[in-house]
Amino acid sequence: MPGIARLGLDSHIGHPCNGTPKGHPKPFHKTNYAVAGQTKVTVNGAFAVLGAGNGSTACGDPAVGMSAWVKVGTTLIGVHRIGDATGGHPCHFVPNACATGSPTVIAFK
């Protein structure tokens, strides 16, 4: 079972921009999750990152994929986990996936 992504501790795989107009593409970058989307549940001392676009990395890559079983926060949205999809962000930085997560707190699909 994949570990839950944690605010400030975990990152996505990273991504470059794949645009083709003049001034593109743009270089690869990789950042940690900077928005959890909730302030109720912590994992290993850091807030659990929510999926469905509620959480995001520092570069603005939204946490899209999430557990359908483990939901937290007041709105009961699934937690984002290792391997779950991210959505990409402007200008043309492509979708990728959560790269790291808690080694001890996991969530079912």
Contact positions vs other proteins (CB under 8 A) = 2, 13-16, 18, 20, 25, 27-28, 30, 51, 64-66, 68, 82-85, 94-99, 109
Q: Which of 64, 13, 72 is nearest to 48 (CA)?
A: 72
Half-sphere exposure of 61 (CA within 13 A, CB side): 32
Rounded CA separation 14/52 (Å): 18
CB of 4 to other proteins, least distance (A): 14
Closer by beta carbon to other proteins, 31 or else 39: 31
Rounded CA separation 39/82 (Å): 20
Report the residue count for the chain.
109
CB of 70 to other proteins, least distance (A): 13
Closer by beta carbon to other proteins, 4 or else 39: 4
CB of 109 to other proteins, least distance (A): 6
Rounded CA separation 28/50 (Å): 24
CB of 45 to other proteins, least distance (A): 22
Closer by beta carbon to other proteins, 39 or else 67: 67
